[in-house]
Amino acid sequence: MQWEAVIGLEVHVQLATQSKIFSGASTAFGAEPNTQACAVDLGLPGVLPVLNEGAVAMAVKFGLGIDAEIPETSIFDRKNYFYPDLPKGYQTSQMYQPIVGPGEVEITLDDGSAKRIRVHHAHLEEDAGKSLHEDYHGMTGIDLNRAGTPLLEIVSEPDMRSAKEAAAYLKAIHAIVTYLGISDGNMAEGSMRCDVNVSVRPRGQASLGTRAEVKNVNSFRFVERAIAFEIERQVELLEDGGSVIQETRLYDPENDETRSMRTKEEANDYRYFPCPDLLPVVLDQAYVDHLRASLPELPSEKRARFQNELGLSAYDASVLSSSRAMAEYFEAVKDAGGDAKLAANWVQVELAGRLNKEGLDIADSPVSAAQLGGLVARVKDETINGKAAKKVFAALWDGEGDTADSIIDAQGLRQVTDSGAIEAMVDQVIADSPVQVAQYREADPDKRGKMIGYFVGQVMKASRGTANPQQVNALLKDKLDNA
């Protein structure tokens, strides 16, 4: 039987506010335990929440960024359950009237085609603290610094059909929130966390299969692998005549598998009800319009501009707009280098290849955009040829010079375009290679194309790579063919 996977994602994004969603405590990462947990965050008796405008603005910006409806009124509810990292015994969240209504996110598939994933809604809520399981005499330690950090939970429709689509969706969300500057998107620090709902069904069946929720998938790679594992597990189960049970599973990256979280897990009953300590949040049109006017160019807009105005291919435009860091880097290279296609090529091929090999993020690139732009400018004005350019790039990577120009000068890589100098080198090579010249001249004209490579190589060697290859080629051809 042919199976089809149906996947939906719940992405929790920590918003980049200075202070917490309901208190004036700092949200900075990495402080000593409980030093950023104020009376409100600790849920001391008698404390009350007051909503942070920054969190509201960021949530609305996200909504505008995915063309979502922004309802005039949203309401905070309490989700009641006991857990040591949840100080008040409830999480303040939005169950029934979220701040962001339905919207859409466009993802690019491997074949370059686009697909729209619907977002059901996004709501604001407070993050919980952390449980530290190092040994405190058999006890668990609770750090509430993270408690009250604003989260935007973005809930997709079950519109994805493969692990790759899910990963592409997560990347698209990452790009949007980082473009908007509403989150640092740092998955390693938990700024973006993801729960995945997966079910499978026979291809062509309209109704959905029973889904499992997989928690704790906190990197692009893990999302893809956890879903792939889960699809395989469910298909195997069904093909063996079993059935999928609705449950929560945990992804274990070390063993690359998902595990049922608790066998005895009781049915949750969160007893949602409107938080009586917070009033309805009412956003007037002027406020929303003001935020709309402040939106930066978003990934989809950038992609379109890269394609339409800069003439990049659909693939290049998509890759270069995929993250804010990548796009900003590329645009800086393009501006300094004066050529969009050359810049795209250098960023995509040389730089991305090297970064990938070294396992570095573009933000950590040892070659700055200004440096690479300087290099591109010299390729564009033919100061150096392609071969020399690679040498300059390697030197920049290794920190052997501050600018492409200084490296070009120091290593004498300036391209020789003086035809007299090139002709002298060509003549010398022809004179030094009588055997090869004779073979060339005896060969069929259609084989000569390949044979000329030897002479080109000799001339380039003689010029230490600086001769203009086109000129060398033309001169050689002329002299060998017409002697």
Partner 1 sequence: MHDKTLTELAAALAAGEFSSRELTEALLARIDRLDGELNSFITVTADAALEAADRADQARASGQAGPLTGLPLALKDIFCTQGVRTSCGSRMLDNFVSPYDASVVEKLAAAGSVSLGKTNMDEFAMGSSNENSYYGPVKNPWDLAAVPGGSSGGSAAAVAAGLVPAALGTDTGGSIRQPAAFCGITGLKPTYGRVSRYGMVAYASSLDQAGPMARSAEDCALLLGAIAGHDLRDSTSVARGVPDYRETLEASLSGLKIGLPKEYFGDGLSPAVESAVREAIRVYESLGASVREVSLPHTDLAIPAYYVIAPAEASSNLSRFDGVRFGHRCENPTDLIDLYKRSRAEGFGEEVKRRILIGTHTLSEGFFDAYYKKAQQVRRLIRQDFIDAFEDVDVLMGPASPTPAFDLGAKSDPVAMYLQDVYTIAINLAGIPGLSVPAGFANGRPVGLQILGPHFAEARLLNVAHRFQQSTDWHRRQPAFGKENA
Partner 2 sequence: MALEPEDVRRAAHLARLGLDDHEAAGYVDDLSRILEMVDRLQAVETDGVAPLAHPLDATQRLRADEVTETDQRERFQRCAPAVENGLYLVPRVVE
131 binds partner 2, rule: CB under 8 A = yes
Report the alpha-carbon distance of residue 289 to residue 271 in Å, rounded. Answer: 35
Q: Tell the residue number behind the tokens 């499992």, with chain if given.
A: 212
Bridge partners for 285 per DSSP: none
**Residue 445 to residue 461: CA distance in whole angstroms:** 25
Please count the CA atoms within 13 angstroms of the CA of 85 that sit on its side-chain side.
Answer: 19
d(CA 296, CA 182): 11
- Laid out side by side, the sheet with 212-215 consists of 103-108, 114-126, 150-156, 3-14, 192-202, 212-215, 247-252, 257-260
Residue from 5, 7, 11, 56 touching partner 2 (CB under 8 A): that is: 56
CA–CA dist 181, 296 (Å, integer)? 9
Binding site for partner 1 (CB under 8 A): 39, 42-51, 78, 80, 82, 84, 87-90, 142, 269, 271-273, 276-279
For residue 214, what is the DSSP state?
E
Only one of the segments 6-14, 45-53, 230-238, 324-332 lies at the binding site for partner 2 (rule: CB under 8 A); that segment is: 45-53
Give φ, ψ of 463 to 5 degrees. -90, 5
Choose the contact partner of 88 out of partner 1, partner 2, none; CB within 5 to 8 A by kind. partner 1
In whole angstroms, the minimum distance from the beta carbon of 289 to partner 1 comes to: 25
- Binding status of residue 153 toward partner 2 by CB under 8 A: no
- Judged by CB under 8 A, the residue of 144, 212, 291, 343 near partner 2 is 144
Q: Residue 260 in 3-state DSSP?
A: strand
Q: How far apart are CA 385 and CA 446, in angstroms?
A: 27
Candidates 138-146, 228-236, 355-363, 391-399; binding stretch for partner 2 (CB under 8 A): 138-146
- Bin 182: left if φ > 0, else alpha if -120 < ψ < 50, else beta: alpha
Q: How far is it, in rounded angstroms, from Cα 104 to Cα 228?
A: 24
- Which listed residue (274, 370, 405, 477) binds partner 2 by CB under 8 A? 274
Q: Which among partner 1, partner 2, none contacts residue 47 (Cβ within 5 to 8 A by kind)?
A: partner 1
The single residue among 2, 30, 32, 286 that binds partner 2, judged by CB under 8 A, is 32
Binding mask 208-247 for partner 2 (x = CB under 8 A): ----------------------------------------
Q: Residue 177 or residue 475: which is nearer to partner 2 going by CB?
A: 177
Provide, rounded to whole angstroms, the least separation between the CB of residue 269 and partner 1: 5
In the complex, the residues that contact partner 2 under the rule CB under 8 A are 17-19, 23-26, 32-39, 42, 44, 50-56, 80, 82, 84, 131-133, 136, 138-144, 250, 261, 266, 269, 271, 274, 276, 278-282
